Amino acid sequence: MSSVRAETRWSGAAPAPAPSPRFAPAGSEAEPAGQDVLRRAEALGIPWQRILADEILAEQSLRRVAPDASAELPLSAATSALPLSFLRSWRVRDRIHNLSCEARSACSPAAIRELRVVSRRLIGAREREGRALATHFWFAYQRVLLLGRVCRAAARCHGATAERIAEVCASARCGFDDAAWAVCLEESPRPGHRLDAAVRKVRDEGFLIPRERTEARSFAALRKAVRRSPHVARWGRRRARPPVGAPARVPVPPLS
């Protein structure tokens, strides 16, 4: 071994370089750690943009309840502030993870009680919570149907942009913002599918819509939740009534 080292030292040949790591280390100037994480997330097919957007919305809602970000927010307060989307908050998920470890390792009665509260929130054990979520789904469903009607009206209109918006408002009986959105969608170089655009817009407005592989499947899951819910009107029944305060339902053909 010593003869090999001496021969390498005096031969003048540089030793072989060490193999470079597959990913750049955190904090390196060549590639920041954040970009490295995003690159790996995209390679694995992780929807990091949607996850990050949901985290931002959840954090903003929690900051309204507890302005001090350093203070630990009780789990009950967090689930109350985010009744429909508390699992989107990293604070809530970390708290649930810690409680789960405490409950399984130490059999803590306090941790078990808090986890049972989370379980009841998830399954909607309370009648009031189940009705609130079903009504939320109903409004989201009607909102998608309205946007679909607006999109079809925008596709039939011709002329200048202002004239088309006015015609869409009159024919679809919608607001200016929805009409302008539909006209801009039709005038875009790549408008895409109208149903996908409608579902994305409703979700961006804050409505909770089931997540599926495609927006069409998400809309189908939303429709199924509305039709099968015992708390809101079931589709096709004569005596069914919409939730209190909801507008009258107008039958709309499927989105094209």
| Domain parsing of the chain, residue ranges | 48-123, 128-228
pLDDT in tens, 72-86: 777 777 777 776 678
Kindly report the number of other CB atoms within 10 A of residue 100's CB atom.
15
% residues pLDDT > 90 (the chain): 13
Cβ–Cβ < 8 Å for 108, 102: yes
Most confident of 43-52, 75-84, 186-195: 43-52
Q: Is the dihedral of CA 206, 249, 177, 164 positive or negative?
A: positive
pLDDT value at position 31? 55
pTM: 0.53
pLDDT score of 36 more than 70: yes
Compute the half-sphere exposure of residue 32: CA atoms within 13 Å on the CB side of its CA. 3
Distance CA 17, CA 173 (A): 71
Bigger pLDDT: 53 vs 190: 53
pLDDT score of 69 more than 50: yes
CA 44 to chain CA centroid, nearest Å = 19
Cβ–Cβ < 8 Å for 89, 78: yes
Cβ–Cβ < 8 Å for 41, 58: no
| φ and ψ at residue 88, rounded to 5 degrees | -85, -10
